[in-house]
C-alpha cells in the first residue's frame, strides 16, 4: 500500500459552527491538518446562513439549542437534516467518513446509519452517568458496532462508551492542538505577574457552573492571606452578573478574548487554573496553557488527569479535588511559595503539550482511516474506490 496516497475524507460535526466549542474547533483544525498532509477534505456541520465558514465546510442548516452533556449544545436533526446528510454522502464519493460524537442527536448519528463506505467515529464525551446514552442505547449501540474504527480522545472517553454501551474503542488518539500558536505567544504586560504580585488566570465560558469559577473565587481569600498582592484574572465569554460576582470576590475581569489574545493571556499568567467540576472529555485548555508556559493547577477530573499523565507518565499539572476550594488554594500557594517548583512544573507542561501537537496527532488519525478502509473492504464488501494501492 502507498502510505502517501491521497484520501478523499468526509468529516461530520454534530455541533453548530455558530458558536464554536471544543469539538467544532477540533474538527476544523483536524481538517486543516489533513489538508496540509495532502488529503481532500469536506466537513459537514450545522451553521446558520449568516455564519462565515471555511470553503471546505458544507452547511447542514440552522441548529437548535439542546441541553446535552452538562451544557447547551446547538444541534441539527429532522427530515431536512437527514436529507442533507444523505446527499452530502452520495455526492462526496468519500474514501472514508469520520463522525464526531455520534451519540449526540444530530448529524453524526444520521450519517452513522446512512453509511455507504468506510466509517470512523471519534467519541469526545467523558461522564460517569449519561441519561442520553441510557435512553439511546437500544438504537445507537448497533450503529457503533458497525463502525470500522472507534476513536476515543482519552482513556476516560473510552471508559464512557465501554461502561454505558459495552462497546470498545479501537484507538485512543487525543485531540490535536496547534501548540506553535501557544509556544510562540508573547506575554502581555497587562497580565504578567511581577515580584510579589503574581497572576493567577482562568478562561472560558464561565457562566457554565461546571467550569468551576465558583471554586476559584472561593479560594481567593486563602491565597491572598499568604500572598496579599496576588492578582486573579477572569477571562472569557460570560454575562454581566458573572463579571460582577468575580469583581466582588476580588478578581479582575478581563472579558472575552480572541485566539491571539487567549494565547497571550496563557503565556502571561504565572498560574493557570482549571477548577472544572465535570463534563470534560479532554482537557484541551490544559494543553494550551502548558504549551504557553503557564504552570497549571487543575481539578482531578479523570479527563484532566489523562492529559497531564498521557505523554510520559509524569505529572505535568498540580491537581486538586473537584470542587475543593481549600485544596485549590493549597496547590496555588505551594507554587507561589516555590518559584523553582513552579518553573519545573511549567517545563513538564511544555514537554507534555508537545505530544498533542497536530504534527503528532494527524498521522495517527490518518493511519486509523487506512485501517478502517482495510476493515471495511474485509467485513463490509460493497463497490468502492480502491484507495489501498497507487
Report the pLDDT value the prediction gives residue 374, as an integer from 0 to 100.
94
390 pLDDT above the threshold of 50: no
Report the pLDDT value the prediction gives residue 161, as an integer from 0 to 100.
84
Least confident of 178-192, 195-209, 221-235, 297-311: 297-311
Separation of alpha carbons 192 and 269, rounded Å: 6
Report the pLDDT value the prediction gives residue 203, as an integer from 0 to 100.
96
What's the whole-number mean pLDDT along residues 119-139? 68
Full-model pTM:
0.77
95 pLDDT above the threshold of 80: yes
Q: CA 161 → CA 123, 166, 348, 373, distances in Å?
A: 8, 7, 31, 23
Read off the pLDDT of residues 48-61 as tens digits, 9 standing for 90 and up.
Answer: 888 899 999 998 87
Q: CA 258 → CA 74, 175, 261, distances in Å?
A: 21, 21, 5
Ordered structural domains, the chain, with CATH: 8-176+357-379 (3.40.50.2000), 179-354 (3.40.50.2000)
118 pLDDT above the threshold of 60: yes
Q: What residues contact 362, with CB distance under 8 A and at least 6 apart?
A: 30, 33, 34, 36, 37, 176
Confidence band, pLDDT 50/70/90 cuts, at residue 371: very high
Phi, psi dihedrals of residue 169, rounded to the nearest 5°: -70, 140
Read off the pLDDT of residues 276-332 as tens digits, 9 standing for 90 and up.
Answer: 998 776 788 999 999 999 999 999 998 899 888 875 556 899 999 999 999 999 999
C-alpha cell at 278: 465535570
Report the pLDDT value the prediction gives residue 302, as an integer from 0 to 100.
86
C-alpha cell at 365: 488519525
Task: Identify the residue with better confidence: 306 or 345.
Answer: 345
Report the pLDDT value the prediction gives residue 145, as an integer from 0 to 100.
84
Amino acid at each position: 500500500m502507498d502510505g502517501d496516497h491521497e484520501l478523499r475524507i468526509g468529516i461530520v460535526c454534530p455541533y453548530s459552527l455558530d458558536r464554536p466549542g471544543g469539538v467544532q474547533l477540533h474538527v476544523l483544525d483536524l481538517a486543516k491538518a489533513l489538508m496540509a498532509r495532502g488529503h481532500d477534505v469536506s466537513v459537514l456541520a450545522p451553521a446558520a446562513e449568516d455564519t462565515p465558514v471555511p470553503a471546505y465546510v458544507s452547511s447542514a442548516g440552522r441548529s437548535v439549542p439542546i441541553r446535552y452533556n452538562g451544557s447547551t449544545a446547538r444541534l441539527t436533526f429532522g427530515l431536512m437534516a437527514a436529507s442533507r446528510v444523505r446527499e452530502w454522502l452520495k455526492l462526496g464519493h468519500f474514501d472514508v467518513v469520520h463522525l464526531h460524537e455520534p451519540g449526540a442527536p444530530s448529524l453524526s448519528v444520521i450519517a452513522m446509519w446512512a453509511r455507504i463506505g468506510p466509517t470512523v467515529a471519534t467519541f469526545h464525551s467523558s461522564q460517569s452517568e449519561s441519561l442520553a446514552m441510557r435512553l439511546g442505547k437500544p438504537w445507537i449501540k448497533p450503529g457503533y458496532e458497525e463502525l470500522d474504527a472507534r476513536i476515543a480522545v482519552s482513556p476516560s472517553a473510552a471508559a464512557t462508551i465501554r461502561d454505558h454501551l459495552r462497546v470498545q474503542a479501537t484507538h485512543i488518539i487525543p485531540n490535536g492542538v496547534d501548540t506553535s500558536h501557544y509556544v510562540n505567544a508573547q506575554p502581555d504586560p497587562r497580565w504578567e505577574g511581577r515580584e510579589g504580585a503574581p497572576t493567577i488566570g482562568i478562561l472560558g465560558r464561565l457562566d457554565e457552573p461546571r467550569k468551576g469559577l465558583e471554586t476559584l473565587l472561593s479560594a481567593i481569600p486563602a491565597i491572598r492571606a499568604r500572598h496579599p498582592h496576588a492578582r486573579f484574572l477572569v477571562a472569557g465569554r460570560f454575562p454581566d452578573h458573572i463579571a460582577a460576582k468575580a469583581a466582588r470576590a476580588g478578581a479582575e475581569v478581563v472579558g472575552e478574548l480572541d485566539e491571539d489574545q487567549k494565547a497571550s493571556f496563557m503565556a502571561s499568567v504565572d498560574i493557570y487554573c482549571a477548577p472544572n467540576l465535570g463534563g470534560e472529555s479532554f482537557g484541551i485548555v490544559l494543553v494550551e496553557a502548558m504549551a504557553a508556559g503557564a504552570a497549571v493547577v487543575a481539578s482531578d477530573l479523570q479527563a484532566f488527569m489523562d492529559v497531564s499523565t498521557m505523554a510520559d507518565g509524569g505529572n505535568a499539572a498540580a491537581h486538586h479535588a473537584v470542587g475543593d476550594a481549600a485544596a485549590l488554594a493549597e496547590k496555588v500557594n505551594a507554587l507561589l511559595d516555590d518559584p523553582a517548583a513552579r518553573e519545573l512544573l511549567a517545563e513538564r507542561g511544555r514537554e507534555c503539550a508537545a505530544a498533542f501537537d497536530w504534527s503528532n496527532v494527524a498521522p495517527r488519525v490518518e493511519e486509523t482511516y487506512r485501517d478502517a478502509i482495510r476493515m471495511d473492504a474485509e467485513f463490509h464488501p460493497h463497490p468502492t474506490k480502491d484507495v489501498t494501492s497507487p
